[in-house]
Structure 1
Amino acid sequence: MPPSIYFPQTNPSHAQRDRLYPFSNGNLPSAVNEKLHNRHFGPWVLTRTVPLPGSRKRRLRVCYPNTSRVHQFAVARFGQKKGTLVFGLLLLLCIVLILGGLFSGVRAVVRNDSTLVFRREELQRIWKWEIESGHYPSRREIPPQLLLNQEYNNPSLPPPQGSTARSPTSGVTSTNPMGPRRRYLNANNFTESIEYPPRPVPGSVADLDRIMDHCDFSQKKYVRDCHEFLRAGAGLDNTIRFRRAGSEEMSYIYVEEADNTTAPFVITPPDQPATTGTPLPELKLKAGVEWEAPLKLDAPDTYRPHYDLPNPPCDEDSPRIFHMFWAGPFTDKPYMAILSFLFTQNTGLHLPRGSIDDKVCRPQLWLWINPGSASSVPNQSITREMFDSLKSNPWSAPFLHPRFKDVVNFKLWNTTEQLDGIPEIKNDWAKLTSLFNSGGHKYNVPIPVAEGEEEEGMTATTTRARSKDEQRAGSQSASTYDKLSVIMSDIARFVLCHQYGGIYLDADTIFLRDWEELWGWKGAFAYRWSRLPRYNTAVLRLGKKSALGSFIFRTALKNDMDVHPFKLSVYAKQAMVDNLLLRLPDALFDPAWLNTEDYQLDRPAQPLFTTFLAFFDTPAPDNGSPASLGFSGFFRGAFSYHFHNYWWKPFDPARNWPDLGPRFIAGEKKARKEALASATLKAQLNTPPDVDTVTAFADRLEDDKRDLDWATVMKRTFESYMRGERPNMYGESLVW
């Protein structure tokens, strides 16, 4: 049967239309047009399978657009001529996009994205300096691309038992271990007290290689298991100890012993450089710059084990200083950081005033304060003004008490002075158009203030911020976040560690245990950016005036002074020095991070935080835990907790003042009065609006929050220690 002229089997062409409908002038009858418009021309996407190379049974399924369907849709929608034109334009656009993508990919390969400014010989020299200074107490492999032709002497790593001689080969990837013997401590022998965990042994060292074996996220290690390993090896599980098979495998803390019976390796120098006849891997120089001149390095540090140090056993090359940076008014956030430091670290506050224990090196906390806007430079009287402000602030005044002398130190941050103190950049940083740069977010160098235009706290020779963002100091909410102070702290941490030595921590950190064993490890470290294999420098250990620090400053200077952690990761990787700056698991310092990004929720760390806000506003199903578990139930085993900003969230909304007892009652009264002036707090506490004096206020249980959040429990725990109502986490009471 011939096809009907009203229901043709194929879509008619122009010639067919003229033949079938000689009197239509190219237009189909309306009924036929409707049928053609509603006709199904196949799916939008077609699939085809192609065989995989090397496999007879498996085939690859490939999806691609159905061009016929697209064309028919365009014709039905716009008509034959316009539809064909639209289809042609779409096809041309797709071709342009595909070719553009291919060209971009080729250009990305060809483009020089290198940040490297040092030759291979200089990178070898940096490694040599760090290893011989004892800053590499590790058996991790040295990148073979460095093409070392000898093993550098490593005074911080003991040789394996029974080894006597070894000759290096081409591309040496190890060091010559010639350090003292290590004796690992068995945590099951810590039986001094069942009520409180023991203080770390003075001079003990955490073997970060072993910690990496049990905690490295990239090796699919769980934060929960890492914390068990950390607390068991340090004896922090004293009250909940239970038998575990192979308890010696939990040991990661060691002491170095003077009676080293192991013979060091005898190195046989090669007859010729190991690189002879070996093609050198290319090192790509950053575009637009020249290779850096050799660094001006002092002689390597003299590595001195703990038993070889004087009394007290403090190493001048590795001072025990915790650095923090703060801008704006002093609040409960640095207050909590300092309280946690006093509650956990071995500061000697449990001993009578004036007594000296020369067997222990006491750590200090240096809080660096930028009192004005983040980019301003203080005048000559600003130091006195800073201390006057600290004395009048209830949150900071307690730490100016003579009892905390040489324990907590407030330091004035002066950008010009500090950057001029770094030889690697002192002659160049002022020439930059954008000094404050973090991950591409730049702030211009402040402009000079003309005569007669001085602002309060500034002189004509100082500077004025260029924008309102730069003038703001401190953060009152997420919408008024002080970005510049955060960016400024990115460079401050490197300046402070390089200039003075020590460990930098962000001020949104609380200490959870003694860091004695981390001080014993002389190498540099930061920690991992959650799931990403990049650095987070919220905790940063860097050697004083080290070769690695010099490398970082010179490299950053040639890369727009960008020291954002992501950029630092690129610098270190391209220069093959990333093993010198060990990237520790975030389980040690930021234990909630992976859970907040929906990782490891099948076996989460405890307590379980799916958001960082849960620390301040603990969800109702979980907020019975803080008060019942207390400090000991909060990420036990981790060294610290990073709550990631939230500067505007009070730790204790119902008692948003320092509660330190009669000794500091004046500051408490002042803070109480200021808190009661808040309408929000008045409504929360059912306080009459006419209450304007502290003496009229009485603490009532009904005004307190029934279920305390974790942040509140931590604050009140530290304050009870300061009031003398309980000892610190190691059973030591504060002696005034």
Structure 2
Amino acid sequence: MTRRRQSHLPLHIIAVDDSQGISRHKHGWAVLNSFSYPWYLYVRLLSRLGRKRANFVLAVLFAFVIFVVLSLQSNWDPDRIKNILPFTADSPTLVYRKEDLQRIWAFEIESGHFPSTSSVPEQIGLKGISNPGLPPLPDGEVRGQATRGTGFMRVYPEIQHNNLSIAFPPRPAPGSIADLDVVKQHCDFSSHKLVRDCLEVLRVGAGLDNGNRLRRENLDDWKYIYLEQSRDYSNRPHVGPPSSVQIDSSPETLLKKAGSELESSPIDLPTPSSPLPFSTACDPDYPRIFHMYWTGPFTDKPYMAILSFLYTQKTGLHLYELPKECRPVFWVWINPVSAASTLGPNAVDSMHKELQSNPWASPFLHDRFKDVLQFKLWNTTQQLDAIPELRNEWRKMRTLFNTGGRIVNVPPEDHHKDMGSHPDDMFHRTGSKSSSSYDRLSVILSDMARFVLCHRFGGIYLDADTILLRDWEEVWGWRGGFAYRWSRLPRYNTAVLHMNKGSAIGTFLFRTALKNNLDFHPMTITRYLKDAYLDGLLLQLPDALFDSAWLNTENYQRERPPQPFFKAFQDFFDTPAVSSAAPLAMGFDGFFRGAFSYHYHNFWWKPFDPSRNWPDLGGRFSAGEEAARKLVPQPINSDREDLSWSAVLKRTFESYIRGERCNMYGEWLRW
């Protein structure tokens, strides 16, 4: 008897069999309940293959699923796993050979730029390398260190004022360093850590709760700030002799960028220099420079960023004599023209004249700030020519404006002059005046500018929509590169970016970007580094440190949010009425206490303080204040009953400049 061939079409069911989860569709076709699908699949296999074969197939499928789950749990990286799946992979971006990736890792580690116990990826094939960024461990003791520590000893002090009657927190001791391994342990979103709990660890570990500490359980695990001691190991168990570096020379399996010529090998890198003992003097190799890029007229946005710097950082402005310790400085890079335009011959003089006449900028030209605050002219041509990895090739590129693979072709300036142009078209915008006239080209240029500035000068880049919330002494102490996480996604956000001057990772990024159409979008930077297994050299810090509201605005962690609780970034400027008592009642101390900064994500067109939308800095700067007041359409006395968080922060910083209050560390500004 011949077996009838099974049809692949759905069966037309006459009766309903609830035991198998089959119900009638209104057109008569069989519909499966989702929860009974595995049983239906088994029945189908049984009818086609027979009992023995069906059981064998199911056993194989079950074993495969278990294998995949265990593999992903031990080494879960969705971006890399995605690249081995069909139809989901991004095209590879790698243009370096494996031996050059090994050289990059070795350079950064030997320079002390990898003070972490994290592992060097197996795909790099580098083992046994000495790491001067880690303290040594006795023979036989590992503690998870993947590299061999040969650096300074670490001491994690208790940070509190000796006199607990002092209401202000202590500044971090000079030479303090943040152990970012410990920070990630308490703050990493991938490990299901909450921003609220992370901020408490950051507060307590830095002594920001001085005088207000409540009794908790053992807080030793919350100590994340350490000081380095000498390399005298006489009081420690014997540390064995240095081991030789093991380099895996097996054939590489890394995916390369198709159709692109690989970079010449060996990669040209300088000789790494070992870390030196801490000194209070500024180290030219590790300058403490905050960079900020701005285009268009100076407004209350960079004004607030600068005020937050003066209010929180150790500038020494509370002293009449210059301090001996190295002070951080703030460099504001001004691009006075649109991103697609070139500068005129008198651009520097024009920039200074505009700053002097601008009420938001002119106060910062006062001599009191000249040692900690500087305005510098951004010149795209000069900046790119100053980068050795770019200077000979960037002019050959079709355009400089590429973001996430979306290329914007800019016509020559002469073409615009001949055809005529509107001052607010995309190619002539200087800043974002509203959500409908967003200056996209300046944003794209700033994506590249931050890497240029850090690679050329060193330091930390900050987006202009950033408010500093505490001293960054221990952040400067961390010698490695870092950015932070893109909210829930395991990708970079470069609104805060630290890279060392002339670093190997910088060389890699510029050469890779050059072969990928100069795309510096943070999502693309993620691909560059992950494709090369170099992402460990640009640490991806939790966004709680610099962007504490981001997860809440995307509907995450709302069951236990931090303080304040923002459902949208606009809540910073337009605080909802139900929570509008908090800004005045809690003030600066109640605003994401513990975070290093706050990123309010654009809103360039929203004033910080609508009812007092002028620089309110006192009699020294009254001329600029009067000029700005005339531009405010509403009556001067029309103050609001409830102030937003943005207004409270603005008025707090301004009262410090006026001499009506001290800064967050109890220091009064001396003129």
TM-score computed with the length of structure 2 as normaliser: 0.86
Counterpart residue identity of residue 356, structure 1: L
Please give the secondary structure, in 2, of the residue aligned with 1:632. helix
| Aligned equivalent of 2:31, options 45, 67, 81 | 45
The 3-state SS of whatever aligns with 2:197 is helix
Per the alignment, residue 287 of structure 1 pairs with: 258
Contact 2:161 2:170 in 1 (8 A): no
Counterpart secondary structure, 2:263: coil
Aligned ranges for residues 1-16 of structure 1 at < 5 Å? none
Task: From 125, 134, 148, give the equivalent of 1:157.
Answer: 134
Residue 484 (structure 1) aligned to one of 411, 419, 441:
441
Q: Which residue of 2 aligns with 1:249?
A: 221
For residues 424 and 411 of structure 2, the distance between their equivalents in structure 1, rounded to whole angstroms, comes to 10
Match runs of 1:307-456 below 5 Å:
309=279, 312-352=280-320, 355-358=321-324, 360-444=325-409, 447=412, 449=414
2:195 to 223, 229, 237: 223
Aligned equivalent of 2:113: 135
What letter corresponds to residue 602 of structure 2 in structure 1? N
- Larger mean Cα displacement after TM superposition, 252-261 or 394-403: 252-261
**SS at the partner of 1:266?**
coil
- Asked if the contact 2:151/2:231 (under 8 Å) is kept, the reply is no
5+ residue gaps, structure 1, are 1-10, 12-38, 61-103, 167-171, 456-463, 688-698
* Offset of residue 280 of structure 1: 3.7
Write the distance in 2 (CA, Å) between the matches of 1:105 and 1:550.
Answer: 27
| Counterpart residue identity of residue 152, structure 1 | I
2:646 counterpart (706, 711, 733): 711
Superposition deviation, residue 264 in structure 1: 4.6
Q: Residues 259, 295 of structure 1: CA spacing in aligned structure 2 closer, same or farther, 3 A cutoff?
A: closer
Residue in structure 2 matching 1:574, options 531, 536, 542: 531
* CA separation of 1:451 and 1:528: change in aligned 2, threshold 3 A: closer
- Counterpart in the other structure of 2:152: 180
Counterpart of 1:86 in structure 2 is: none
1:163 aligned partner, one-letter code: D
Q: For the residues of structure 1 that align with 2:92 and 2:423, how far apart are their CA atoms?
A: 32
Number of the residue aligned with 2:45: none
1:483-505 superposed Cα distances (whole Å, 9 cap, x missing partner): 11111100000000000000001
- Structure 1 counterpart SS, 2:485: strand
- SS across alignment from 1:670: helix
Conservation of the 8 A alpha-carbon contact between 1:320 and 1:362? yes
Shift in CA distance, 107/514, structure 1 to aligned 2, threshold 3 Å = closer
Larger RCO: Structure 1 or Structure 2 (Cα < 8 Å, ≥ 6 residues apart)? 2
**Post-superposition shift, 1:300?**
1.1
Which residue of the other structure, out of 722, 731, 735, is the alignment partner of 2:657?
A: 722
> Match of 1:73?
none
Find the aligned partners of 2:629 and 2:239 in 1 and give their Cα distance.
64
2:205 counterpart residue number: 233
Change (3 A) 1:112 1:236: closer
Change in 2 beyond 3 A, CA 1:133/1:617: same
Gaps of 5+ in 2: 1-11, 13-24, 43-53, 63-82
Change (3 A) 1:193 1:390: farther
Shift of 1:106: 8.3
How many angstroms apart in 2 are the aligned matches of 1:180 and 1:528? Answer: 29
The answer as to whether partners of 2:159 and 2:170 remain within 8 angstroms in 1 is no
Where 1:348 maps in the other structure, the secondary structure is coil
Change beyond 3 A, Cα 1:53–1:367: farther
Aligned-residue CA RMSD (Å): 2.8
In 2, the alpha carbon distance for the partners of 1:409 and 1:274 equals: 46
Q: Which amino acid aligns with 1:319?
A: P
Which residue is equivalent to 2:15? none
- Could you give the per-residue CA deviations for residues 196-234 of structure 1, whole angstroms, max 9, x where no partner exists? 000110110000000000000000000000000001000
**Separation in structure 2 between the aligned mates of residue 408 and residue 53 of structure 1, nearest angstrom:** 74
Are the aligned partners of 2:129 and 2:244 in contact in 1 as well (CA < 8 Å)? no
Deviations 1:442-485 (A, max 9, x none): 22355254899799xxxxxxxx9999202111111111111111
Per-residue deviation, 1:243: 1.3
Give yes or no for contact 1:177–1:264 (8 Å, CA) kept in 2.
no
The CA distance in 2 between the partners of 1:664 and 1:474, in whole Å, is 25
- Residues in 1 aligned to 2:257 and 2:239: alpha-carbon distance in whole angstroms: 41
Question: Which moved further from structure 2: 614-623 or 477-486?
Answer: 477-486
Question: How far does residue 603 in structure 1 lie from its aligned partner after superposition?
Answer: 0.6
| Offset at residue 708 of structure 1 (A) | 0.3
CA pair 189-657 structure 1, distance change in 2 beyond 3 A: closer
Once the two structures are superposed, residues 148-175 of structure 1 have per-residue CA deviations (whole angstroms, 9 ceiling, x without a partner) of 2x42221121012x32799xxxxx9822
Contact 2:154–2:227 under 8 Å retained in 1? yes
CA–CA separation in structure 2 for the residues paired with 1:471 and 1:710: 33
Give the deviation of 1:188 after TM superposition: 4.7
Once the two structures are TM-superposed, the CA of residue 435 in structure 1 deviates from its matched residue by: 1.0
Three-state SS of the structure 2 residue aligned to 1:146 is coil
Asked whether the equivalents of residues 153 and 230 of structure 2 are also in contact (C-alpha less than 8 Å), the reply is: yes
Q: Are the counterparts in 2 of residues 137 and 154 from structure 1 also a CA contact under 8 Å?
A: yes
Deviates further, 259-268 or 588-597: 259-268
Counterpart Cα distance in 1 of 2:277 and 2:578: 50
SS at match of 2:544: coil
CA distance in 2, matches of 1:348, 1:200: 14
Distance 1:53 1:413 in 2: 69
* Identity between Structure 1 and Structure 2 (%): 54
What residue identity is the alignment partner of 2:643?
A: L
Q: 2:176 is matched by which residue type in structure 1?
A: S
Distance 1:471 1:206 in 2: 43
CA contact (8 A) 1:190 1:198 kept: no
Matched, 1:595 2:581: no
Give CA deviations for 1:90-113 in whole Å, capped at 9, x if unaligned.
Answer: xxxxxxxxxxxxxx998648x881
CA distance in 2, matches of 1:430, 1:466: 26
Shift of the 44–713 alpha-carbon distance from structure 1 to 2, 3 Å rule, reads farther
Q: What corresponds to 2:103 in structure 1?
A: 125
What residue is the counterpart of 1:734 in the other structure?
Answer: 669
CA contact (8 A) 1:143 1:576 kept: yes
Name 1:269's counterpart in structure 2: 244
Distance 2:422 2:406 in 1: 16
How far 1:619 sits from its partner (Å)?
Answer: 0.2
Q: Which amino acid aligns with 1:430?
A: R
Count of aligned pairs: 606
Q: Which letter does structure 2 place at the counterpart of 1:635? A: F
1:538 aligns with 2:503: no
The answer on whether the counterparts of 1:376 and 1:465 sit within 8 Å (CA) in structure 2 is no
Quick check: 2:134–2:152 contact (8 Å CA) kept in 1?
yes
Cα distance, 1:204–1:454 mapped onto 2, change above 3 Å = farther
1:605–1:429: structure 2 CA closer, same or farther, 3 Å change rule? same
